[in-house]
Structure 1
């Protein structure tokens, strides 16, 4: 259903896997959208993207550069006059690119202050009705269970909370998990203490899998949570991951439906379903037999699945949709990888072409 043009939603983090899909869904639902990005170059990437142009967003989309979401009052001006805020922007684990000495400032401080800045800006606005905060399932599960050192005694529930693990952190993932725990804790405390006129919906996705519309080269296909799917198909060997995944489109859909007044506020919802990582090989053989036969997808990688039970009954009931299967997730990721690989091969067939021409062909 299209929404009144007087309804405006502020979306942070739109240059990410989840954020860009949420942006597209918000535009397609008829909202005016203010979106924040970290730089002018990222702003150009969004505005020039074919999906944004096809969305016929016109004057309904404006992009605002906020280089540092943790800077005091970062969102005060941009939140004025909006009806809703979807806060997605937060540091993600990037496989060793962050110096361990910077874990606390990069992950914890940014996540916490970014969240408090959004809440504070909404409080100063007279129009905000609801905030949707994107957390993660890792904020609900003790690290010992995430790493397989401890078995769960009951299904993961939206009401579960994990004590904040203090520094030092042994790796980026632990620091990332701590940032999600910390941001959730301060948000809930802020809401309980301040009792604002708006409410908050908290969403906890599992590992987000599915087509990343912002990725157009093979290098970037091996970044983010899609890395596990493409990595196993291409021969990478990982350790253990919990078997809790969700399709990117389901996550985007839930964010937009969470704006509906019929969805109870000040409530938490898990976005996840069971999955087994090595099933990727069977799914690839079923849907991409030619790529497997040619060893474009050699299927020689592996990852162990940590079995985990998650209670998503309230999510499916309230949001009125059934989660896409792990098979759907894998097909979308690998299908996208093969498209990108094919475009790359087409350009490599003409090495004498000017670089600008090759880039144009890659964009086709």
Structure 2
């Protein structure tokens, strides 16, 4: 580990991607200032065994930012930072259904205003050299193509330069609203970068479905409150409508955020993170990895996900970041390793009661 004088300001550090990225930052030797919504979240982060094992001491500090949609939200918190990683943005998970009247305040406002506030704050600080922003493959791929209702030519592969057209609500589903919020956040960021004079560059990361150990989870239920809910819901017998067969390991996403800080990585561009998967293949992998869970009927093999595939060009990603992305088997092992450990610790009985809810989405 190389100790760095650089100070990285990170948002979303209590979430799925953010908590893992925080660990990777500290492991790489960076000084880190994490934005949290309350002092209680500080205590929660510091209580994590993985954080304690790194003994960050003064290398890890915090800034309380209760509402990222308020103008100037990050202005004080980002002072003296040399880099910023902006991850904070709501994602649907665990089968939750956000009512249509809440789509804008729940998804749009945090996604768009949070991103703009980060860019404004980085500019005001005058010390920031690079901002890394977590977007989504959904900002590049139209929802109709993702759901398979509108075919895409195999020759027209999605690249980091693709852009999805903005749509106005009401949206037909929670996932549709989420996808539209990522489109809006990317559009707002690029408009700001084009029109405002600034002294830093930006790297956008576009991950697919992120799977793997959830560092912020302490219970089996919490382990499902992220994109792992699709995989675990499948193994619990869920029947799911169309889902894009494109996924990435949480460790690869976190590592990419850290590697994106390297000035040798070209700035002012985007990178897609992920690879094609067939979701139902996870059942066979899980049977091989943890047969006892199927024998006990904790997991079942009659779940299903309608997988849609789109051509995606990720040729530049592994070359730029210098590492090979993990496969679906590694993702499944990471998810199940944590979930089964937590289940055993809880002494839980039954497969899904109170954990997932409606798995028919």
TM-score range, shorter chain: over 0.9
Could you list the per-position Cα deviations for residues 120-179 of structure 1 after superposition, in whole angstroms to 9, with x for gaps in the alignment? 001111210000000000000011011110112221111100111111112211111111
Deviation of 1:297 after TM superposition, in Å, equals 2.0
Alignment of 1:145-156 (within 5 A): 145-153=145-153, 154-156=156-158
* Alignment match, 1:58: 57
Q: Are the aligned partners of 2:146 and 2:310 in contact in 1 as well (CA < 8 Å)?
A: no
Could you list the per-position Cα deviations for residues 209-238 of structure 1 after superposition, in whole angstroms to 9, with x for gaps in the alignment? 001012121222332210111111111111
Deviation of 1:257 after TM superposition, in Å, equals 0.2
What is the aligned length?
347
**Does 1:107 pair with 2:84?**
no
* Alignment match, 1:127: 127
Give the TM-score normalised by the residue count of structure 2: 0.93
Structure showing greater relative contact order (alpha-carbon pairs closer than 8 Å, 6 or more residues apart): 2
Deviation of 1:291 after TM superposition, in Å, equals 2.1
Instruction: Assess, with a 3 A threshold, how the Cα gap between structure 1 residues 92 and 346 changes in structure 2: closer, same or farther.
Output: closer
Instruction: Assess, with a 3 A threshold, how the Cα gap between structure 1 residues 273 and 144 changes in structure 2: closer, same or farther.
Output: same
In 1, Cα distance between equivalents of 2:109 and 2:223: 28
Q: Are the aligned partners of 2:16 and 2:215 in contact in 1 as well (CA < 8 Å)?
A: yes
Deviation of 1:346 after TM superposition, in Å, equals 8.0
In 2, Cα distance between equivalents of 1:13 and 1:186: 19
* Alignment match, 2:39: 40
Q: Are the aligned partners of 2:7 and 2:81 in contact in 1 as well (CA < 8 Å)?
A: yes
**Does 1:68 pair with 2:67?**
yes
In 1, Cα distance between equivalents of 2:71 and 2:313: 37
**Does 1:278 pair with 2:273?**
no
Q: Helix, strand or coil for the counterpart of 1:208?
A: strand
Structure 1 spans left out of the alignment, 5+ residues: 349-364
Structure 2 spans left out of the alignment, 5+ residues: 351-361
**Does 1:86 pair with 2:85?**
yes
Q: Helix, strand or coil for the counterpart of 1:204?
A: strand
Q: Are the aligned partners of 1:221 and 1:230 in contact in 2 as well (CA < 8 Å)?
A: no
Deviates more, 1:96-105 or 1:31-40: 96-105
* Alignment match, 1:352: none
Deviation of 1:195 after TM superposition, in Å, equals 3.6
Q: Helix, strand or coil for the counterpart of 2:347?
A: helix
Q: Are the aligned partners of 2:160 and 2:270 in contact in 1 as well (CA < 8 Å)?
A: yes
**Does 1:202 pair with 2:174?**
no
Deviation of 1:246 after TM superposition, in Å, equals 0.2
